[in-house]
Amino acid sequence: MDEIPGFQKMMLPLLRFAGDKKEHSTKEAIEYLADFFNLSEDQKNKMLESGNQKVFSNRVNWARAYLKMADLVNPTKKGHFKITDKGIKTLSENPPEINLKYLNRFPEYLEVKASWKKNPDTENEILTPQTPEELLESSYLDIRKALAQEILTKIKTCSPSFFERMVVELLVKMGYGGSISDAGKAIGKSGDEGIDGIIKEDKLGLDIIYIQAKRWESVVGRPEIHKFVGALAGQGAKKGIFITTSKFTKEANEYVPKNETKIVLIDGALLAELIIDYNLGISTQTVYEIKKLDSDYFEEE
């Protein structure tokens, strides 16, 4: 699938779209540019990593925002915009491309950029197809991946008993079991081969989930999963969670018990993600709030 065009590539076609001097909605602009760039349905509907907005729509909005900073278009009412006289003049000059470097010729844009107090070296900003929100999300994901790797490295230095307790605490944070003390009593109490502990599925204990926790470096294969299923059968259990700090082989992931037993496999990567999501043993360092204009507030009667 071809890449979605960067927001800077959208500036000139967007300005040309508005060149009829009519008022247009952002929705109309998005539809026009999707046809202009011949985007597939998958490209049009691809979401940002956060899942809060479509990538293409986000880039169109930022292209419009930068054109507005240079006074080439102006908002008219909520979700609508119109080309300015300066925008018409710019089109008459027939520029081959409009990007952030091109916008530097407009005093209005330079004034806005100066207010950001950014580094004057904007070469990377000029080259990137990503919007500020995409860059922020990308940086966030890089930080999260580094933290996940740090978590796994730290877990592997801890004792097996600590790992088992940590697994139960995580499951309790996820909504399983009753209290930490209730769940903790189950660890090491079963005495059954292939089972490290048990936890209530809910606070009332209507069902029990059996846990296998392996703090391993080597890959977990199908035989280990089959062994765990056998241990569950020996307990008359139907639900189990197999957790490892390493990975599962393809055969292990594809293994499906022939009986009614349900097994959930959690490898090291997913384990680290869950630890981050449920704030187990980590602390928040910085919080950035991304805010947007409430257009309804500024609408006059």
Q: Which of 251, 244, 250 minimizes the C-alpha distance to 266?
A: 244
Euclidean distance between CA atoms 32 and 183, whole angstroms: 57
Euclidean distance between CA atoms 165 and 155, whole angstroms: 12
> Where do the domains of the chain lie?
11-129, 153-277
pTM above threshold 0.75? no
CA dihedral angle for residue 214, residue 160, residue 234, residue 242, rounded to 10 degrees: -30
51 Rama sector, left if φ>0, alpha if ψ -120 to 50, beta otherwise: left
CATH fold of 11-129? Arc Repressor Mutant, subunit A (1.10.10)
What letter represents residue 105's amino acid?
A: R
Q: Is 64:26 a contact under the CB 8 Å cutoff?
A: yes
pLDDT at position 191 = 45
Euclidean distance between CA atoms 209 and 237, whole angstroms: 8
- For the 153-277 domain, the top CATH level (class) is alpha beta
C-beta atoms surrounding 252 within 10 Å: 21
pLDDT at position 123 = 42
Q: Is 64:58 a contact under the CB 8 Å cutoff?
A: no
What DSSP state is assigned to residue 292? -
The dihedrals phi and psi of 197, each to the nearest 5 degrees, come to 180, 175
Q: Which of 230, 186, 226 minimizes the C-alpha distance to 208?
A: 186
Predicted confidence pLDDT, tens digits, the chain (301 residues): 358 999 999 999 999 999 999 999 999 999 999 999 999 999 999 988 777 789 999 999 999 999 999 999 999 988 899 999 999 999 999 999 999 999 999 999 988 888 765 544 444 455 566 788 888 887 888 788 888 988 988 898 888 888 888 888 898 888 887 666 666 544 444 444 456 778 877 777 678 888 888 888 889 999 999 889 888 888 888 889 999 999 999 999 998 887 788 899 999 999 999 999 999 998 887 777 777 777 666 665 5
pLDDT at position 250 = 93
pLDDT at position 129 = 66
